[in-house]
Homo-oligomer: A and B are copies of this chain.
């Protein structure tokens, strides 16, 4: 259901011929109202794609009527011509739907540094617009996949209202914003300001804490739209909880389907002085190629955890650090703890707990292992 779970939204996915594989590659999500509030967060990468530049302007006034998305091409590093192509995309969508181009968000994903085939994009707009439906969420979620192997959808419900979302992203997942593209819809009545506050809060503790490969995309976009069609007004706390639930589910689905991964790794840092220091330490561990390769090899190599922790500026006494891997405290007080042979890494889920003994704050960052398949997927094809 994803983006069509909430009342007031229609969606569609179609095949425009952007992908050599012939898989679906364009999606359209339309907000039928009565309200058309929007908020969005974008990549913090200073090299941003044309659709990001465009969509920042679209959402600035808090109103959007539709989101058009394409896989098969990022339209990043394409200069003025690329920006013109995004503008043209919005114009054609607007003409087709009878709305203003400045209320059409555009998202693209795929290879950087190539122009989009605009004839196919325009054909894709016509196809999706003709196929818009109240059950179209699943088709839309499938059409935005690139190296994803499964679509990502999530739904959360409030008292008389609903939040639903879809996301794609299988590589270039890193902080600042960890997914490439995500569209979330709700039929709750909420102003753009409330949407923005809920979205910032939700993404900061979900997508921002996924770090598959340390590489930040030029195209990351998360859009939240409300139709108000439920007629139920929500307070920001309730909306934040529901949006966070959807984002958390989608973020976990991204990790579970990251390029070439064989393990999903949660790095939980406990007893940090502050939450931001907990995140800093967790992120240092999730960025260690040596640690990630060890997990791929089912090697509970806690020395690689400690050596990553030691590169941070977080408060801790280096002689008091504890590390547990899947429940076995292999490192106690920064030296040899329980028998590392007791650690079972045969399953996909791995939980690393680092205790800093420096305070009460905690945070978890998710990542994947570093595998042969990751290297293969990212060396054998230009993506």
Contacts and interface: CB of A to CB of B under 8 A. Distances in A.
A129 to B, nearest CB: 30
A288 B47 contact: no
Contacts of A289: 213-215, 289, 370, 374, 378
A216 B380 contact: no
Contacts of A45: 307, 310-311
A331 B288 CA distance: 30
Interface stretch (A28-36, A61-69, A75-83, A229-237): A75-83
A15 to B, nearest CB: 24
Per DSSP, are chain A's interface residues mostly helix, strand or loop, or mixed? Answer: loop
A269 to B, nearest CB: 15
A171 interface: yes
Interface of A: 44-48, 74, 76-79, 81-82, 111-115, 171-172, 176, 213-218, 287-290, 293-294, 296-297, 299, 301-304, 306-312, 318-319, 321, 330-331, 333-336, 370-372, 374-376, 378-382
6 contacts: A112-B304, A214-B287, A214-B289, A218-B303, A289-B370, A296-B379
User: Which 5 interchain pairs have the tightest Cβ spacing?
Assistant: A112-B303, A297-B379, A47-B310, A79-B335, A293-B378
Given A218-B306, A289-B370, A301-B382, 13 more contacts: A45-B310, A47-B309, A77-B306, A77-B334, A112-B306, A215-B288, A215-B304, A218-B310, A293-B378, A297-B380, A299-B381, A299-B382, A375-B375
